[in-house]
Structure 1
C-alpha cells in the first residue's frame, strides 16, 4: 500500500498510523508542486525497509534503509550537483561502522572508521 504523507499521523511514540491503524507500506511526500520528494517504508508503524529522497528538481538527495526503526546498511546523501555529500555504513544492530563526508566540490571533509 502507498499513501500520501498528509494521510498518515505520527503518534507520540513516533509510530505512524493510517486511518487509526499502525501503517504498513510506503509513505510518499510531495513538494508543493506535486513532485515526489521522499518515499519511506513502514512495517506496523515503524520505519522498516528502504527510503529515498529527491530534491524538488528531481536529483537524488538521500537513500538508506532501516530495520524496525534502526538504520542499517549504507546510507548516502548527495549535493544538488550530484556529488556525494555523506556516506555512512551501519551494521545490523545500527552501530556506525564508518562515515565519509565531502564538500560540494568533491573535496573530502571527514573520514571515520569505528574501532573494534
Structure 2
C-alpha cells in the first residue's frame, strides 16, 4: 500500500489517498486539522466501490454505505450526528 497525505503543524490536513500495490486507488478522503471530514471512499482490488462514508465538519459519521465485491449494497447507516442539520 502506498499512501499520500499532507501534514501541517504535525496534523493530517488535506486529502489522503491510498493505493493498492498495482497503483489503483484503495481509499481516499480528507482531513481537516487531524479530523476526518467530508466524503471518504474505499474500493476492492477489482475496482468495485467497497464503502462510502460522509463525515461532518466535526468528524461525526453521518452516512455510511457498504457493498460486496459484486456491487450489492449490504449495509447502510444514517445518523443525525451531534449537531443535527449542521454539517
* TM-score normalized with structure 2 length: 0.88
- Matching residue of 1:84: 49
| Distance in 2, Cα, partners of 1:58 & 1:68 | 27
Dislocated runs of 4+, deviation >4 Å: none
Displacement after TM superposition at 1:106 (Å)? 0.7
Aligned residues: CA RMSD: 1.1
- Matching residue of 2:14: 49
Residue of 60, 64, 67 corresponding to 1:99: 64
SS in 2 for 1:110: strand
Displacement after TM superposition at 1:59 (Å)? 1.1
| Distance in 2, Cα, partners of 1:99 & 1:41 | 24
Q: How many residues are matched? A: 81
Which of structures 1 and 2 has the bigger CA Rg?
1
Structure 2 residue runs without a partner (length 5+): none
Residue of 12, 19, 35 corresponding to 1:70: 35
| Distance in 2, Cα, partners of 1:90 & 1:57 | 29
* TM-score normalized with structure 1 length: 0.67
Higher relative contact order (CA 8 A, sep 6+): 2
